[in-house]
Every structure is written in structure tokens, then in C-alpha cells.
């Protein structure tokens, strides 16, 4: 009898705990190459420093209102337009679920503050130095250098498993 009472109390406690645990979602981000886009190959007279995002960039947050829906993985493809200072100046949806605009809204809320090391084209010129300043940083190049605007496409995958977030290095399969 005592054992039955302990089992019932344990089940009730487990049930109470499971209803109190908030659901959480997480996000995976992967830069993607778009076919037909310009490449930045070094030539004999010009070099490229490729842009890359700051590590401090915030990850989009899984929309709270959709966690209870227990959706499968959802991927948003977004194009970021970045100015020569490394600041995101625009974001455009290239592919997003039309029934859930909250996912693209979550992407836009995060990426508008993203910062990048800029795209820089430079040509080695003896006796010439160029300093490029951006987002409180400076880099000096031996030669003539120019920071350029660019765009980068990203697949941002929102996923959850058992009510908790899952991060993968690529878009999860359904």
C-alpha cells in the first residue's frame, strides 16, 4: 500500500513538473552560396579579404507563439545587404513559410544589428598603405584598398525536439 502511494505521488509530481517546464526553440545558421553570383578570386593585380560575421551577432529567437504548435524544422533563406562599413542595411526573404511570417520577422529582428568584417579589394602597391575603418576597428593594407558593399545569403533553420531547441550545422531533414 505504501509503495502504491509513493508511485502515485511520483507520477503526480512528474506530471506537475512536465507542465511547468517552458518550451524552447533554437536556431541553426548556415551561409549559402547562390549559383551565378560573383566570386572573388584573387588575380595577379588584386586580392580580396572576404567578409565574415562578428561572433557577437545575435542568433534569431524561435517565435514563442509557435512553440506550442510543435512544428517540424522550418528554414528561412534570407539575403543580407551589407554596406562597406560592415553594417546590415537590408534583409530580404528569399524563401520563408508563407503560413508562418513570424519566422522571417524573428530573422529580421536579429540581423538588422549584425556586423561584419567588410569585403575589401586591395592591390599591392609599393610604398602605399591604406587603413580601412569599420565598426570601431581598423585594418591596414600594404597597397590601395577599398571596402565594398556586398550581400550574403543565409539559411536559418528553426527547430525543436521534445519541446526544446536543437542546433545543427545544416538544415535538419524532416
Q: Which set of grid coordinates corresponds to residue 135?
A: 565598426
Residue 50 pLDDT exceeds 50? yes
Radius of gyration of the chain (CA): 23
Q: Which set of grid coordinates corresponds to residue 164?
A: 526544446
Residue 12 pLDDT exceeds 70? no
**Average model confidence (pLDDT) across the chain:** 78
Residue 23 pLDDT exceeds 50? no
Residue of higher predicted confidence among 84 and 22? 84
Which pLDDT score, from 0 to 100, does residue 153 have? 94
Domain boundaries of the chain, sorted by first residue: 44-165
CA nearest neighbour of 74 among 49, 57, 96: 96
Alpha carbon distance 167, 29 (integer Å)? 9
Which pLDDT score, from 0 to 100, does residue 138 have? 92
Over range 80-99, report the average pLDDT. Answer: 95
- Give the angle subtended at the CA of 139 by the CAs of 137 and 142, to the nearest 5°: 170
Which pLDDT score, from 0 to 100, does residue 78 have? 94
95, 79 contact by CB (below 8 A): no
Specify the CATH superfamily of domain 44-165. TonB (3.30.2420.10)
145: β partners: 122
**Number of Cβ atoms within 10 Å of the Cβ of 49:** 17
Residue 35 pLDDT exceeds 80? no
- The predicted-structure confidence for 90-138, as pLDDT tens digits, reads as follows 999 999 999 999 999 999 999 999 999 999 999 988 999 999 998 888 9
Residue 14 pLDDT exceeds 50? no
Amino acid at each position: 500500500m505504501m509503495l502504491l502511494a509513493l508511485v502515485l505521488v511520483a507520477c503526480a509530481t512528474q506530471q506537475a513538473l512536465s507542465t511547468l517546464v517552458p518550451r524552447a526553440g533554437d536556431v541553426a545558421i548556415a551561409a549559402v552560396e547562390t549559383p551565378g553570383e560573383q566570386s572573388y578570386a584573387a588575380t595577379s593585380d588584386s586580392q580580396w579579404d572576404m567578409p565574415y560575421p562578428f561572433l557577437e551577432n545575435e542568433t534569431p529567437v524561435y517565435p514563442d507563439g509557435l512553440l506550442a504548435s510543435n512544428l517540424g524544422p522550418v528554414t528561412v533563406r534570407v539575403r543580407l545587404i551589407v554596406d562597406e562599413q560592415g553594417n546590415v542595411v537590408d534583409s530580404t526573404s528569399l524563401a520563408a513559410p508563407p503560413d508562418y511570417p513570424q519566422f522571417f520577422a524573428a530573422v529580421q529582428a536579429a540581423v538588422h544589428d549584425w556586423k561584419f568584417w567588410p569585403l575589401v579589394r586591395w592591390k599591392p602597391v609599393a610604398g602605399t598603405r591604406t587603413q580601412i575603418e569599420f565598426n570601431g576597428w581598423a585594418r591596414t593594407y600594404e597597397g590601395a584598398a577599398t571596402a565594398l558593399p556586398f550581400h550574403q545569403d543565409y539559411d536559418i533553420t528553426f527547430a525543436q525536439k521534445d519541446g526544446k531547441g536543437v542546433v545543427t550545422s545544416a538544415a535538419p531533414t524532416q
